[in-house]
Structure 1
């Protein structure tokens, strides 16, 4: 059960507002990024939150991967998002693909500032 878990907290996202509040659009972009990274999507779940007094609601876009998962949560009123990419490395090392997927999502959302973390899982 070895794997790599990448996270990023994104602030001051300079992307088009639609990427932060349109679930279908963000979900399709996530699936495109998954394919481009060489990982395999096996399912997708999207949720749009209701508008707030500050503006449109955020979205959660989750892509289930054969290798594990990708999840994006957005806060359009703050121009912020969180990213979570986890890949199991059982049978093959998917770490480079996970990094490529994270980099593609960072390029899409264009944060002014990002806090990134990498955690190796299953290593004793």
Structure 2
């Protein structure tokens, strides 16, 4: 007997170079954009934590029913790290993960420095 294979989901992690430092210091704009992303891709937020640092960089964790989206910005270096993980409980969400990440790369008008995909 061969059980049906199960993949918990795709976890994509990127480091981005961003020329517009204002986008690396405006946590509220990121949250507002994220709400649009969630609506567009049919994702359900179950929690949100935002922390703004003294230098105006920020860390945000968006907890989703499907898993999470997390960002950490470093305006002094023009960089951020972002990870998107969506579970595959009822369907394969791998392409959705890639599309969500592409939305953020477009939002930041960023250059991808590092891009890792982990099949969980």
Normalising TM by the smaller chain, what interval?
Answer: 0.7 to 0.9
1:32 aligns with 2:36: yes
Q: Kindly state the Cα deviation for residue 20 of structure 1 after the two structures are TM-superposed.
A: 0.7
Q: Which runs of 4+ in 1 moved over 6 A?
A: none
1:43 aligns with 2:42: no
TM-score (norm 1): 0.83
* Rg larger in structure: 2
Q: Kindly state the Cα deviation for residue 2 of structure 1 after the two structures are TM-superposed.
A: 1.1
Give the equivalent residue in structure 2 for 1:9: 15
Give 5+ residue unaligned stretches, structure 2: 1-6
* Cα RMSD, aligned residues only: 1.5
Task: Identify the range of structure 1 (1-10 vs 28-37) with the bigger mean alpha-carbon deviation.
Answer: 28-37
Instruction: Indicate conservation of the 8 Å contact 1:22/1:48, yes or no.
Output: no
TM-score (norm 2): 0.86
Aligned length: 114
